[in-house]
Chain A
């Protein structure tokens, strides 16, 4: 009826979630707190850490910066019972506030999630700059051997090479004309694949780099969405980090068909858990 803090985790579920709309202004801490509360409201049999203040076992992999939206964030949770990952996904999704959505859940296979992610794909809307001008700037940046930009971090002003982290940088052909009230009008769209290095090169660092090579207005209005994360393959594409787990889950499913009735009783318990 209640989570047993001493129970050992028997099942890990990896979740892909999105951060959308107004909630792009959440920090990672905000998201983590909202998630922890959603887990309690969802009444899932979470595995807890030991100690005076047990916390549900939740492992985060990276996190989109404050201000950036994402369709591809990843987190892993540990449960003390075997549960259908789709049911887990739906329950957490329902308990999260609007703007945070859980897109997929899979049972974790072998290997860690973190080692399956080393780059991000970004879609960056740059308002006030038309497509052709943006393309020109992107070409200049790609041609540069390195491009140092500065960013204020907690440790002070840091300099980082934005060019080195960029795998590819394209501009979408059709620049939309937005009905913007401030008449900024034109909008160019960058599609970038960026390596996850330390310190991180973020979408606004890419913009700073473009500004430095091509004199784009530094205050250009920018909306960035992370569209994918994964391991870079040889063609500069990204391998879906959950693909391997999906494959191993399919293999396992066949072997466990006989255990169905047992799983059913577990689910009944969960449905009555009071949290």
Chain B
């Protein structure tokens, strides 16, 4: 019978796998509903390990939004580790949801949130274990509709074979519209079966069905054109944008796992979008415009979420949290309100200025001052102009001096390597910056016992950014530059020993680049890698570069393209990009102009403080950036009865 628990079959396998608790559910604030009293049933998947997927805010929000409707059931499923996968195959146990251990194949819809493209192979494992045909065109009325979401869905072409649809942009409203359509279709006796349901879904704003578009190619491998083949589908699918965050105060009841997870805190998204215009940052580009949650809305979410979860840390999330127009009032208000309760605040932040130190001091006033993180992203002034990260080295040194003077003992600096136009000298500047940080820190703190850790990632050009046309740097070059950098850091031993350096080799980034800017031809590579055992590609102990290289040689070369063609090749303005028919609201001409400005080292201002520079998003949404100050109070300080917290 559909929806029947498989826990009886799963249970004997659990003592034989590592960390079995991740497969048993039982999270605080999870929802268990009857199968039979619900009409529309969603399985929501984060395609990575439970410990990474459980805290994911996107899944948590949709889970709650859907389950608030009495006739809708939403349960969660995560990637199972290879040890359990092998046992499930041996004993015929299907991919299951963690709440009620129901087979994923029994649900109406499978929604998969991709924060990173390296989760694609895990999608295939889940489909296969669920008994869902890998290829969308082989699915029947008996199979769930498979829908991708998340940032990677802004270029869903590499997984076009495997998904029925993608939701582009914010999901809160789209999932409810999809639900309503499925509800109506089922109520009318499922007219026209799966093809008709998919056709109806294609009429929803922001829902993209790869099967409604045909792609043809030029002899040189570039895309000739993308042609719509279904009347009901849009010519270009425009992203969804949830405009008023205060109307969507989710999660209200954060999921609290029994197993350990990567974020042991309660998170509140204080705004969505970003105005900084860093040219490498896909998140900052595709989530425009900025929409702030009000100070009051934030206060209410924190109060309710802490009472419901028992967490002792609050994370104020966004792409650049210190930029909230009322961040000072928010942090001071929360620090006042929770003083003495053992509740910590954290603020992921990339701003490099003294204001940031004020905030950090406020946030840590009841705790230890351990480490502060800044993201200059580029080592030289020149490369920072290219990427539009407007930080001067003088600012940075002044800022870290203030921090060390205020009692902080460690500074972490984030950088990228392999940026467009980058030379060895740009990267070696990172060493000089780190040395200056240590010298300034020793002077300001009067102590030799301070630390600067530099953390470096390889740059991956992403769709819907000004760098979408750029050539990705080859991993060999990235690795060479990083070893030169290490030598440069250690050239002065007395200072170098206070500098830590963390980086990953550039190979996984090249594959991420393939999956980010690939087109439909890359689907075969993903499938071959998966058939060769590719799993958990975001984990260095599971990722195997040679497997991807071999699969590219086997699957791309016969199609006249290659791994290099998709990654280290610069594109021209005229080239049809695989994601051009996905509309992120950004004006393509503006992106190109910004790319040209980057190449000539011209900066672009922040539209939060300076006039609009016409990226195109606001007019296409009929809106403006949504920032305060609102002039409202955080929250009246009111005691809450403890039994409300239960």
Contact = CB atoms under 8 A, between A and B. Distances in A.
B641 interface: yes
B20 A67 contact: yes
A42 B642 contact: yes
A5 interface: yes
Contact of B646 (A36, A48, A94, A270): A94
A25 B367 CA distance: 34
Q: Is the interface of B mostly helix, strand, loop or mixed?
A: loop
B642 A273 contact: yes
Interface of A: 1-5, 22-23, 25-27, 29-30, 33-34, 36-43, 48, 52-54, 66-67, 94-95, 97-99, 180-182, 221-222, 270-275
A272 to B, nearest CB: 5
Interface of B: 7-9, 12, 14-15, 19-21, 23-28, 256, 258-260, 264, 306-312, 339-342, 367-368, 639-643, 645-646
Contact of B260 (A4, A29, A67): A29
B342 A41 contact: no
B21 A275 contact: no
Contacts of B640: 274-275
Given A30-B21, A273-B642, 18 more contacts: A3-B341, A3-B342, A23-B21, A23-B24, A25-B14, A37-B28, A41-B645, A52-B367, A54-B342, A67-B14, A94-B646, A97-B256, A98-B26, A99-B26, A180-B8, A272-B642, A275-B306, A275-B341
A254 to B, nearest CB: 30
B15 A67 contact: yes
B364 to A, nearest CB: 10
Contacts of A273: 639, 642
Most chain B CB within 10 A, of A29, A40, A48, is at A40
A218 to B, nearest CB: 12
Contacts of B341: 2-3, 274-275
Contacts of A67: 14-15, 20
A123 B646 CA distance: 34
B14 to A, nearest CB: 6
Contact of A43 (B23, B24, B642): B642
Most chain A CB within 10 A, of B26, B311, B639, is at B26
A66 B342 contact: no
A274 B7 CA distance: 38
B480 to A, nearest CB: 39
A155 B230 CA distance: 63
Contacts of B639: 1, 272-274
A37 B26 CA distance: 15
Nearest to A46: B342
30 contacts: A2-B341, A3-B341, A25-B20, A25-B24, A26-B259, A27-B19, A34-B258, A36-B310, A37-B310, A37-B311, A38-B310, A39-B310, A40-B310, A40-B311, A41-B308, A41-B309, A42-B642, A66-B20, A66-B21, A94-B646, A97-B26, A99-B26, A180-B8, A221-B12, A271-B641, A273-B639, A274-B639, A274-B642, A275-B642, A275-B645
Contact of B7 (A22, A26, A52, A275): A22
A84 B206 CA distance: 57
Contacts of A98: 26
B312 A40 contact: yes
B202 to A, nearest CB: 40
Given A34-B258, A270-B642, A275-B645, A53 B367 contact: yes
Contacts of A272: 639, 641-642
Contacts of A22: 7, 24-26
B107 to A, nearest CB: 21
B367 A26 contact: no
Given A23-B24, A67-B20, A30 B258 contact: yes
